[in-house]
Amino acid sequence: MPVRQFDAIMDAIDENIRWGTVLLHCASGMSRAPSLTAAWMAAVGYCNIDSAMAEIKQLRPFILPSEIVVESIRRHLK
């Protein structure tokens, strides 16, 4: 995912979360949506990416985040 697109998604979540629930979805809801949710949680200082993924996995045990996507997010958040 290009950095510009990642930043746009983070900005969209930031702008809309204050109005209530934000729905993030991807084709199957197993990799990109939970990964971007965890990225936002880490970006705002709620918790680190690993803790965010663990929290999301408790709510949706069937997620299977792509290691490539998660590693890319880690690099971008530094």
**What is the signed CA dihedral for 18, 76, 24, 21, rounded to 10 degrees?**
-20
Residue 53 has pLDDT above 80, yes or no: yes
Q: Of all residues in the chain, what percent carry a pLDDT higher than 90?
A: 67
pLDDT digit string, tens, across residues 25-47: 888 778 999 999 999 999 999 99
**What is the signed CA dihedral for 44, 50, 36, 63, rounded to 10 degrees?**
-150
CA separation for the pair 6, 20 (Å, rounded): 21
The model scores a pTM over 0.85: yes
Q: How confident is the model at residue 2, as a pLDDT?
A: 80
Q: How confident is the model at residue 70, as a pLDDT?
A: 92
What is the CB-side half-sphere exposure of residue 46 using CA atoms within 13 A?
Answer: 17
Residue ranges of the domains in the chain?
Answer: 3-13+27-77
Q: Taking all residues of the chain, what is their mean pLDDT, rounded to a whole number?
A: 91
Token pair for residue 69?
């996507």
